[in-house]
Amino acid sequence: MSEARFDVVGIGSAIVDILAHTEDSFLSNHEAPKGTMLWVEEDQSDALYKEIGPAIEASGGSAANTMAGIASFGGKPAFIGKTKQDQLGAIFAHDIRAVGVHYETEPLQEGLASARCIILVTPDAQRTMFTYLGASGSLSASDMDPDLIAASKVLYIEGYQWDLPETKTAIIEACKVVGRAGGKVALTLSDPFVVERHRNDLFDLVNEYVDILFANEQEITTLFRSNTFDGAVEAIDGRVEIAALTRGEDGAVTVTKDKLIQTPAAPVKKVVDTTGAGDLYAAGFLFGHTRGDDLKTCANLGALAAAEVISHMGARPELSLKDLAQKNGF
Amino acid sequence: MSEARFDVVGIGSAIVDILAHTEDSFLSNHEAPKGTMLWVEEDQSDALYKEIGPAIEASGGSAANTMAGIASFGGKPAFIGKTKQDQLGAIFAHDIRAVGVHYETEPLQEGLASARCIILVTPDAQRTMFTYLGASGSLSASDMDPDLIAASKVLYIEGYQWDLPETKTAIIEACKVVGRAGGKVALTLSDPFVVERHRNDLFDLVNEYVDILFANEQEITTLFRSNTFDGAVEAIDGRVEIAALTRGEDGAVTVTKDKLIQTPAAPVKKVVDTTGAGDLYAAGFLFGHTRGDDLKTCANLGALAAAEVISHMGARPELSLKDLAQKNGF
């Protein structure tokens, strides 16, 4: 693995976020469960956009945020995800390259517009997401550059992609490519509803390919149909090399075949917007892991990055995570 | 005037801002005078964009920001400015309507793309702007709805528009319309280089049509070719009914034929990004003026709104200025 050109290659949706503040009542009026992600069609996205207040736009996408975080730590990430050649697509491509992520996926010349995600932040700093996938949903086998994937220590996958049959199949091929090259497969379960919809497929993926599994409490209990977090932890039972489980302000639990490491959340002055918390936890953890840190340090780096991203609006770090890590002695 | 449907109608560029942090050296390498605005062509804008770091997008435009501020105070503003029917144009139109500004200018169906302004914020919180005007430069007489303009207490104009001969001519017609209807004309000088380029035209405009003049120290001294601020104040000499002059952290001076009122800047915990400071000063001042406040209160409302907008990234208020004004006893 010493020859790997990239620490991590992420595969996911190439999305620009549209961030606005809202009240809880707006979510209940739209029957949107707080804290989750809903797929919407273009007309639904447009209708919702008309109803929300003034917004700001910032590049997002779960795996893309994670790659941006790894770059901010000083790691070497790459990203595969589809845009259209339009203004939002140009914004996405600019931002991910500007932060130092290798990104060369060919944009669509015509057809569906670039993806956007309306993220509504309630006064409790929780975010609820309405994703119009557009061009991003047409990621397919031809976008999975095997040289790039084989040149990466870790392939990082969004569970969200399991809603896209063609993409899912292409990703499984990518898992085989990275495995043959001696790399590892990491998966984030993304969202409890995604896990619910694709439980069997994700379960098979975890058993067959996944080395490093990221999940929050709701997602891991849904995957293992467990009533309790402890039950879910038991159910992991060596299925993956590492399970990196997050529990919000209660910190994180890292589970391996023979160890269970508990680590606290990093302190945050004021939680402003929880968008990207899980994505940046994965960034810190994978950055540490690919440079050879012990698991406790990996978890602490994850917590540090998550704390930075929830202290402001938007899902990507505003500060240099490299500087932040150094300041905190990592 | 009691029948006016709008407090203020603003005419200006319909722009989406692209905000990024940068170092001073980046500006000097690009020979960009800090704190000013430079017009750029599309290819220059694209080349610059490639060089800057990750950015966020937020609706901007000087007069548009002022109208957004008036709406946030609870006033009734309208805006006239041109976009193209593209993704950035949709963002601009959404945001200005979402905050409560009447905005019905027909977007271009083809031709130049919607305007964008790359705003680079240096560590001292100063902003330097690179504006690609695009569709926004094709605002013309046919966009100047005379019913809308006649239904407004104040017509508010950006000095920036004097770089656009066709728009400038259309705006002078609009001045006549609002004057005949019994309304007033307000002008912001926008930028010292704009004043330098169009000094004679702006001087004539001020003498002939302008009732309320907004300028900072550099702009007013440039207009009157004065070496000192006091010299510029003397030169005003009743040319306008009210001159609202801002001096950054040194506060503001409101000048009328027989009065000179000095008011302090409002306190700010930390200046993050000075983008929009002048725009929001004008918003507070005009909101107060159109509801009949005395000049000192107008100036204090301006200072309050400016202080809010410089405490965060972006040129439009994040907090409700109505609430902020009430909290501060206005």
pLDDT in tens, B110-140: 999 999 999 999 999 999 999 999 999 999 9
CATH number 3.30.160.340 is the correct assignment for the domain at A6-13+62-103+138-327: no
Minimum CA–CA partner of B55 in chain A: A95
Residues whose CB is less than 8 angstroms from the CB of residue B2 and which lie 6 or more positions away in sequence, other chains included: none
pLDDT of residue B1: 44
DSSP class of residue B105?
Answer: P
Residue B5 tokens read as 């449907």
A-chain residues near B316 (CB < 8 A): 54
Q: Which of B52, B56, B59 sits opposite A58 (nearest CB)?
A: B56
Q: Which residues of B touch A52 (CB under 8 A)?
A: 98
B88 has a chain A CB within 8 A of its CB: yes
Q: How far is A98 from chain B (nearest CA, A)?
A: 5
Cβ atoms of residues A87 and B113 within 8 Å: yes
CA B155 to chain centre: 12
**Does A91 lie at the interface with B, CB-CB under 8 angstroms?**
yes
Whether this model's ipTM surpasses 0.85 comes out as yes
Query: Is A185:A216 a contact under the CB 8 Å cutoff?
Result: no
Strand ordering across the sheet containing B6-11: B102-103, B77-80, B6-11, B152-158, B184-188, B212-216, B242-246, B252-255, B260-263
Which of B 287-316 lie inside 8 A of A, CB atoms?
A: 314, 316
Chain B residues with beta carbon closer than 8 angstroms to that of A53: 98-99
The DSSP string of A115-168 is: EEEEEEEPTTS-EEEEEE-GGGGG--GGG--HHHHHTEEEEEEEGGGGG-HHHH
Chain B residues closer than 8 Å to A314 by CB? 56
Closest C-alpha among B132, B131, B183 to residue B157? B183
Is the pLDDT assigned to residue B3 strictly greater than 80? no
Ranges of residues in chain A with a pLDDT under 70 are 1-3
Q: How far is CA A248 from CA A55, A251, A263, B62, B327, in A?
A: 26, 6, 11, 41, 34
Q: Which chain A residues contact residue B314 at CB under 8 A? A: 56
Closest CA to A302 of A283, A320, A329, A324: A283
Q: Do A59 and B59 touch (CB under 8 A)?
A: no
Q: How far is B88 from chain A (nearest CA, A)?
A: 7
CB atoms within 10 A of CB A181: 18
Cα separation, A86 vs A66, in Å, equals 24
**With an 8 Å Cβ cutoff, is B170 touching chain A?**
no
What's the mean pLDDT in B244-249?
Answer: 96
B29-72 residue pLDDT tens = 999 999 989 999 999 999 999 999 999 999 999 999 999 999 99
The number of angstroms, rounded, from the C-alpha of B58 to the middle of its chain's C-alpha atoms is 15
Question: Measured between CB atoms, does A99 come within 8 Å of chain B?
Answer: yes
Of A54, A94, A113, the CB nearest to B316: A54
Candidates A93, A305, A102, A83; CA nearest to A214 is A305
pLDDT of A4: 80
Instruction: Look at residue B2 in the predicted model and tell me its pLDDT.
Output: 44
Query: Would you say B142 and B42 are in contact if contact means Cβ atoms under 8 Å apart?
Result: no
DSSP letter string over B58-79?
EEE-HHHHHHHHHHHHT--EEE
Q: What is the pTM of this model?
A: 0.94
A92-97: which pairs have CB atoms within 8 A and are 24 or more residues apart?
Answer: A92/A14, A92/A15, A92/A16, A92/A59, A92/A61, A92/A64, A93/A14, A94/A59, A94/B49, A94/B50, A94/B54, A94/B55, A95/A58, A95/A59, A95/A68, A95/A316, A95/B54, A95/B55, A96/A59, A96/A64, A96/A67, A96/A68, A96/B54
Judge whether B47 is closer than 8 Å to chain A, CB to CB: no
DSSP state for residue B137 in the 8-state scheme? G
A315 φψ region: left (φ > 0), alpha (ψ -120 to 50), beta (else): alpha
Going by C-beta distance under 8 Å and a sequence separation of 6 or more, which residues neighbour residue B11? Answer: B63, B79, B80, B81, B139, B144, B155, B156, B157, B158, B161, B171, B174
DSSP secondary structure letters along B15-55: EEEEEEE--HHHHHHTT--TT-EEE--HHHHHHHHHHS---
- The verdict on a CB contact (< 8 Å) between B54 and A98 is yes
Measure the CA–CA gap between A219 and A199, rounded to whole angstroms: 10
What residue segments make up the domains of chain A, in order of their start? 6-13+62-103+138-327
Is the pLDDT reported for residue B4 higher than 60? yes
Query: Residue type for B101, please?
Result: V
A42 touches chain B (CB under 8 A): no
Residues of B in contact with A94 (CB under 8 A): 49-50, 54-55
DSSP characters over A16-38? EEEEEE--HHHHHHTT--TT-EE
Q: If you ran DSSP here, which 8-state letter would residue B163 be given? A: G
Residue B113: list chain A partners with CB under 8 A. 87
pLDDT at A3: 65
Closest chain B residue to A116, measured at CA? B87
Q: Return the residue in B17, B46, B56 with the most chain A beta carbons within 10 A, the one to mutate for interface testing.
A: B56
**CATH classification of B6-14+61-108+139-327, choosing from 3.40.50.620, 3.40.1190.20, 3.40.50.1370, 3.40.50.1220?**
3.40.1190.20
A49, A52, A95 member nearest B55 (Cβ): A95
Q: How far is A291 from chain B (nearest CA, A)?
A: 25
Nearest residue in B to A85, CA atom = B87
B56: contact with A, CB 8 A cutoff = yes
Calculate the average pLDDT of chain B.
Answer: 96
Q: Give the dihedral sign, CA B229/B233/B239/B244.
A: positive
Do A55 and B95 lie within an 8 Å CB cutoff? yes
